[in-house]
Amino acid sequence: MRTELTILASPDRSPRISAAGGLAARITGRDTVHVIGTAATPLGGDHWDIAVRVLPGARLTLRSVAASLALPGRGRVLSTARWSVEVGDDAVLDCALEPTVIAGGAEHRVETTVTLAESATVLLRERVQIGRAGERAGRWVGVTNADLGDLPLLRHQLEIGVGTVSHDVLDGPAAVTSELRYPDDRPAEVTGDIRSARTRLPLARGGSLTTRLGPHL
Protein backbone atom coordinates (compact mmCIF):
# COMPACT_ATOMS: atom_id res chain seq x y z
CA MET A 1 0.00 0.00 0.00
CA ARG A 2 1.20 3.50 -0.82
CA THR A 3 0.19 6.22 1.62
CA GLU A 4 0.45 9.95 0.94
CA LEU A 5 -0.16 12.65 3.55
CA THR A 6 0.39 16.38 3.12
CA ILE A 7 -0.07 18.99 5.84
CA LEU A 8 0.24 22.71 5.04
CA ALA A 9 0.20 25.21 7.91
CA SER A 10 -0.52 28.88 7.15
CA PRO A 11 -0.46 31.86 9.55
CA ASP A 12 -3.94 33.09 8.56
CA ARG A 13 -6.06 29.92 8.48
CA SER A 14 -6.37 26.35 9.77
CA PRO A 15 -3.95 23.75 8.41
CA ARG A 16 -4.82 22.17 5.07
CA ILE A 17 -4.68 18.38 4.89
CA SER A 18 -4.55 15.99 1.94
CA ALA A 19 -4.46 12.23 2.59
CA ALA A 20 -4.68 8.98 0.65
CA GLY A 21 -3.94 5.41 1.74
CA GLY A 22 -3.44 4.20 5.30
CA LEU A 23 -3.06 7.52 7.12
CA ALA A 24 -5.37 10.47 7.71
CA ALA A 25 -5.13 13.59 9.87
CA ARG A 26 -7.57 15.70 11.83
CA ILE A 27 -7.38 19.28 13.06
CA THR A 28 -7.70 19.12 16.86
CA GLY A 29 -6.79 22.71 17.74
CA ARG A 30 -6.16 26.04 16.05
CA ASP A 31 -2.60 25.01 15.15
CA THR A 32 -2.71 21.32 16.11
CA VAL A 33 -3.08 18.27 13.87
CA HIS A 34 -3.29 14.61 14.94
CA VAL A 35 -2.25 11.82 12.53
CA ILE A 36 -4.63 8.84 12.48
CA GLY A 37 -4.09 5.34 11.09
CA THR A 38 -6.96 4.18 8.86
CA ALA A 39 -5.54 0.77 7.91
CA ALA A 40 -3.01 -1.82 9.09
CA THR A 41 0.14 -0.08 7.90
CA PRO A 42 3.06 -0.20 7.48
CA LEU A 43 3.23 -3.81 6.31
CA GLY A 44 6.19 -5.18 4.40
CA GLY A 45 6.13 -3.56 0.96
CA ASP A 46 4.21 -0.45 2.13
CA HIS A 47 5.55 3.07 1.59
CA TRP A 48 4.57 6.31 3.36
CA ASP A 49 5.19 9.66 1.70
CA ILE A 50 4.56 12.46 4.20
CA ALA A 51 5.06 16.16 3.51
CA VAL A 52 4.84 18.82 6.23
CA ARG A 53 5.15 22.48 5.24
CA VAL A 54 4.94 25.34 7.72
CA LEU A 55 4.74 28.66 5.89
CA PRO A 56 6.46 31.82 7.18
CA GLY A 57 4.87 33.04 10.39
CA ALA A 58 2.77 29.89 10.92
CA ARG A 59 2.73 27.44 13.83
CA LEU A 60 2.06 23.70 13.74
CA THR A 61 1.89 21.12 16.52
CA LEU A 62 1.86 17.61 15.05
CA ARG A 63 0.86 14.59 17.12
CA SER A 64 -0.62 11.11 16.56
CA VAL A 65 -3.43 9.28 18.35
CA ALA A 66 -1.63 5.92 18.72
CA ALA A 67 1.63 4.08 18.13
CA SER A 68 2.40 2.68 14.68
CA LEU A 69 3.11 -1.04 14.30
CA ALA A 70 5.39 -2.18 11.47
CA LEU A 71 4.60 -5.76 10.47
CA PRO A 72 6.18 -8.12 7.93
CA GLY A 73 4.09 -8.62 4.81
CA ARG A 74 3.53 -11.73 2.72
CA GLY A 75 6.86 -12.31 1.01
CA ARG A 76 8.25 -8.86 1.95
CA VAL A 77 9.54 -7.64 5.31
CA LEU A 78 10.73 -4.10 4.48
CA SER A 79 8.44 -1.09 4.74
CA THR A 80 9.62 2.47 4.08
CA ALA A 81 8.64 6.02 4.95
CA ARG A 82 9.81 9.34 3.54
CA TRP A 83 9.24 12.59 5.41
CA SER A 84 9.75 15.97 3.74
CA VAL A 85 9.65 18.87 6.23
CA GLU A 86 9.90 22.59 5.41
CA VAL A 87 9.72 25.34 8.03
CA GLY A 88 9.78 28.95 6.89
CA ASP A 89 10.85 32.28 8.39
CA ASP A 90 9.53 32.87 11.93
CA ALA A 91 7.55 29.61 11.68
CA VAL A 92 7.30 27.02 14.48
CA LEU A 93 7.00 23.23 14.17
CA ASP A 94 6.55 20.90 17.15
CA CYS A 95 6.41 17.32 15.83
CA ALA A 96 6.34 14.46 18.35
CA LEU A 97 4.38 11.43 17.23
CA GLU A 98 3.67 8.30 19.24
CA PRO A 99 6.32 5.54 18.93
CA THR A 100 6.80 3.16 16.05
CA VAL A 101 6.99 -0.48 17.16
CA ILE A 102 8.86 -2.87 14.85
CA ALA A 103 7.28 -6.32 15.17
CA GLY A 104 9.37 -9.49 15.07
CA GLY A 105 10.57 -10.22 11.53
CA ALA A 106 9.74 -6.73 10.21
CA GLU A 107 12.12 -4.09 8.88
CA HIS A 108 11.29 -0.40 8.62
CA ARG A 109 13.36 2.39 7.06
CA VAL A 110 12.61 6.10 7.52
CA GLU A 111 14.25 8.90 5.54
CA THR A 112 13.60 12.45 6.75
CA THR A 113 14.59 15.61 4.86
CA VAL A 114 14.28 18.89 6.76
CA THR A 115 14.69 22.40 5.32
CA LEU A 116 14.72 25.27 7.83
CA ALA A 117 14.85 29.03 7.59
CA GLU A 118 17.37 30.56 10.00
CA SER A 119 14.56 32.20 12.01
CA ALA A 120 12.52 28.98 12.27
CA THR A 121 11.90 27.04 15.49
CA VAL A 122 11.73 23.25 15.32
CA LEU A 123 11.32 20.25 17.59
CA LEU A 124 11.35 16.98 15.66
CA ARG A 125 11.14 13.85 17.84
CA GLU A 126 11.09 10.19 16.76
CA ARG A 127 10.69 7.16 19.06
CA VAL A 128 11.17 3.53 18.03
CA GLN A 129 10.86 0.23 19.89
CA ILE A 130 12.17 -3.03 18.44
CA GLY A 131 9.70 -5.83 19.15
CA ARG A 132 6.49 -6.30 21.01
CA ALA A 133 6.51 -8.29 24.27
CA GLY A 134 8.93 -11.17 23.89
CA GLU A 135 10.14 -10.08 20.41
CA ARG A 136 13.62 -8.83 19.46
CA ALA A 137 13.86 -9.78 15.79
CA GLY A 138 12.92 -6.49 14.08
CA ARG A 139 15.13 -3.88 12.45
CA TRP A 140 14.87 -0.10 12.04
CA VAL A 141 16.95 2.37 10.05
CA GLY A 142 16.53 6.13 10.41
CA VAL A 143 18.20 8.70 8.14
CA THR A 144 17.87 12.44 8.81
CA ASN A 145 19.26 15.16 6.55
CA ALA A 146 18.59 18.73 7.70
CA ASP A 147 19.59 21.97 5.98
CA LEU A 148 19.58 25.48 7.43
CA GLY A 149 19.02 27.80 4.51
CA ASP A 150 21.31 26.62 1.73
CA LEU A 151 23.86 24.92 4.00
CA PRO A 152 23.87 21.55 5.80
CA LEU A 153 22.79 21.45 9.45
CA LEU A 154 22.74 17.68 10.11
CA ARG A 155 23.56 14.42 8.37
CA HIS A 156 22.66 11.48 10.60
CA GLN A 157 21.91 7.77 10.28
CA LEU A 158 21.08 5.33 13.07
CA GLU A 159 20.23 1.61 12.94
CA ILE A 160 19.02 -0.72 15.68
CA GLY A 161 17.85 -4.33 15.68
CA VAL A 162 18.85 -7.54 13.97
CA GLY A 163 21.74 -7.27 11.53
CA THR A 164 22.99 -3.88 12.75
CA VAL A 165 26.39 -3.13 14.25
CA SER A 166 24.93 -2.50 17.71
CA HIS A 167 22.82 -5.66 17.82
CA ASP A 168 23.50 -8.07 20.65
CA VAL A 169 21.05 -10.73 21.80
CA LEU A 170 21.90 -10.08 25.46
CA ASP A 171 22.09 -6.31 25.81
CA GLY A 172 21.99 -4.52 22.44
CA PRO A 173 19.78 -1.40 22.34
CA ALA A 174 16.19 -2.13 21.33
CA ALA A 175 14.75 1.37 21.66
CA VAL A 176 15.74 4.82 20.49
CA THR A 177 14.49 8.36 20.94
CA SER A 178 15.95 10.92 18.54
CA GLU A 179 15.24 14.62 18.98
CA LEU A 180 16.33 17.45 16.68
CA ARG A 181 15.96 20.95 18.15
CA TYR A 182 16.63 24.29 16.52
CA PRO A 183 17.60 26.74 17.87
CA ASP A 184 19.27 25.30 20.96
CA ASP A 185 22.44 26.60 22.60
CA ARG A 186 22.71 24.07 25.43
CA PRO A 187 26.14 22.40 25.82
CA ALA A 188 26.93 18.77 25.08
CA GLU A 189 25.77 16.27 27.69
CA VAL A 190 26.17 12.51 28.15
CA THR A 191 24.30 10.59 30.85
CA GLY A 192 23.53 6.94 31.64
CA ASP A 193 25.63 3.84 31.18
CA ILE A 194 26.54 1.32 28.50
CA ARG A 195 23.07 -0.27 28.62
CA SER A 196 20.98 2.90 28.59
CA ALA A 197 22.52 6.19 27.50
CA ARG A 198 21.43 9.71 26.55
CA THR A 199 23.61 12.03 24.49
CA ARG A 200 22.98 15.64 23.49
CA LEU A 201 25.30 16.99 20.79
CA PRO A 202 25.35 20.65 19.74
CA LEU A 203 25.30 21.21 15.98
CA ALA A 204 27.90 23.45 14.35
CA ARG A 205 25.32 25.87 12.90
CA GLY A 206 23.12 25.92 16.01
CA GLY A 207 20.57 23.51 17.38
CA SER A 208 21.14 20.09 18.89
CA LEU A 209 20.61 16.39 18.34
CA THR A 210 19.67 14.31 21.39
CA THR A 211 19.73 10.51 21.17
CA ARG A 212 18.57 8.07 23.83
CA LEU A 213 19.35 4.35 23.46
CA GLY A 214 18.27 1.52 25.74
CA PRO A 215 16.31 -1.70 26.05
CA HIS A 216 12.94 0.09 26.30
CA LEU A 217 11.45 3.49 25.59
C-beta of residue 68 within 8 angstroms of C-beta of residue 23 = no
* pLDDT tens digits for range 17-73: 999 999 999 999 999 999 999 998 999 999 999 999 999 999 999 999 999 999 998
170, pLDDT greater than 50: no
* pLDDT tens digits for range 138-160: 899 999 999 999 999 999 999 98
Predicted TM-score (pTM) of this structure: 0.92
Give the pLDDT score at 64: 98
Q: Amino acid identity of 151? A: L
- Alpha carbon of residue 129 to chain centroid: 12
